[in-house]
Amino acid sequence: MECAARGFATRCVGRPTRRCGNCGAVAYCSVSHQSSHWRYHKEECERLEEQMRRVDLLNEFPFTFTEEATVQISQKEESRCSFLTKRGLHHAGMWMFECKCGSSSVTFSAYDRFRNEGWHLPSSSCPCRGPLSPVTSQLCSWKDYYEWRQIPLDSPVALLLHWPLTIYHAVQAIGIENLTPRISDELRIHYLGPQKELGQVGVFAELRALFPGLRIHLQLVGPDVPQHVDGEIISLCGYATCMEEEECDCKCSSQILEHNNKSSESSAVSLQLYRGFYHDRYSDIAKDSPPPHIVIAPNAGIAAYPSWLPTIELIKGMKVPAVFSDYCEEACHLAACCIRTITGQPLSLPIGLNPFRQPMMVEDSSLFIPCYSNCFIFAI
């Protein structure tokens, strides 16, 4: 937790122990910092107070590990590292990017990372094979998903599956029938600003189960895509594998294909990587494929990065739905203000809680309000 006035006033004098008496969402290291910051904080104080009233809802998950991943992390009784270590997942495969000590020590390589990916869990605890039955009704919660995939509620796979499930929720929120151009047999998604997902691409194979009968083509665009994989196509021909060596039939799973490999055209899920900002690379992307049905930007941070301005302008002109997520409601509110300034229009989908947010609290948040990856979504 940082002093809310850090960067606004003189150097902090100690730990931020003085919480705002109105909202209780921010804290300060001293009376002087609290006083000097009031002219900034007074605009957000009432909003944060309202958001604080909904804290219990943010922490509501059906898992057996919920308290460990929420309350105990906020109280620093647990950490992401300790949570993963207890389950034998620390620095293992796709889990490597789920803690600071893992993500900071790894350089992404499409081929090396993908070959080593896997759940590192028993087959009974992960979706390493296709579902026993197709989705018959809309999934509205993690409980719905786990029951459909027959995964026990002590399995931590939701910590990684929030990426494809957020895509699923975004499409459902917009309405698949409202996507333009109309979908026939392929769903095209432009996915902006990938970071840790670049080392967890295996989880996107779950889109095969979530959108049966459709070929899914994701184009991942962002400055964190390494130069040496710019333009690369990753074809997911199966699901991420479990830890069982011989008993499970998931081992013939996935492979990476070259850019021009024709097999990728019939793959259920394919991902193409582009390095750079969306507004800079869109013309290159448009040469390779038809327009997207939907644009999705996870944990966007629109208010924090000026580079979003030309991207929002581009999306406005494209006239396709664009869904954004962020770590907390306040970040979404600030983003909505920026978007209204750029487009002159309100959100097409108001800010709402994502039922498929990652069920592990972000450590060292700047607010006392719990923050989760992909916590809230909204759309233009």
User: What are the pLDDT tens digits along the chain (380 aa)?
Assistant: 788 888 887 888 888 889 999 999 999 999 999 999 999 899 899 999 999 999 999 999 999 999 999 999 988 899 999 999 999 999 998 999 998 886 654 555 544 555 557 899 999 999 999 999 998 899 999 999 999 999 999 999 999 999 999 999 999 999 998 887 778 899 999 999 999 999 999 999 999 999 999 999 999 999 999 999 999 999 998 899 999 877 787 865 544 444 444 444 456 899 999 999 999 999 999 998 999 999 999 999 999 999 999 999 999 999 999 999 999 999 999 999 999 999 999 999 999 999 999 999 998 777 889 999 999 999 99
- pLDDT of 257: 44
Distance between CA 229 and CA 318 in Å, rounded? 26
**Whole-Å CA distances, 149 to 74, 158, 212, 290:** 30, 12, 14, 33
Cβ 199 vs Cβ 157: under 8 Å: no
SS3 content of the chain, % helix, strand, coil (to 5): 40, 15, 45
Q: CB atoms < 10 A from the CB of 261, how many?
A: 14
The residue among 365, 270, 378 whose CA lies nearest residue 334 is 378
DSSP SS3 for 326: strand
Cβ 299 vs Cβ 354: under 8 Å: no
The residues spanned by each domain of the chain are: 1-59, 60-379
- pLDDT of 162: 98
The residue among 341, 371, 346, 345 whose CA lies nearest residue 359 is 371
Cβ 8 vs Cβ 2: under 8 Å: no
Distance between CA 83 and CA 65 in Å, rounded? 9
Distance between CA 233 and CA 114 in Å, rounded? 12
**Whole-Å CA distances, 131 to 90, 92, 117, 135, 155:** 27, 25, 20, 9, 16
- pLDDT of 62: 98
DSSP 102: H
Distance between CA 187 and CA 181 in Å, rounded? 10
**Whole-Å CA distances, 206 to 51, 195, 268, 288:** 32, 19, 10, 25
Model pTM score: 0.91
Q: What are 306's two structure tokens? A: 């000026």
Report the amino acid identity of residue 211. F
- pLDDT of 182: 79
Distance between CA 164 and CA 374 in Å, rounded? 11
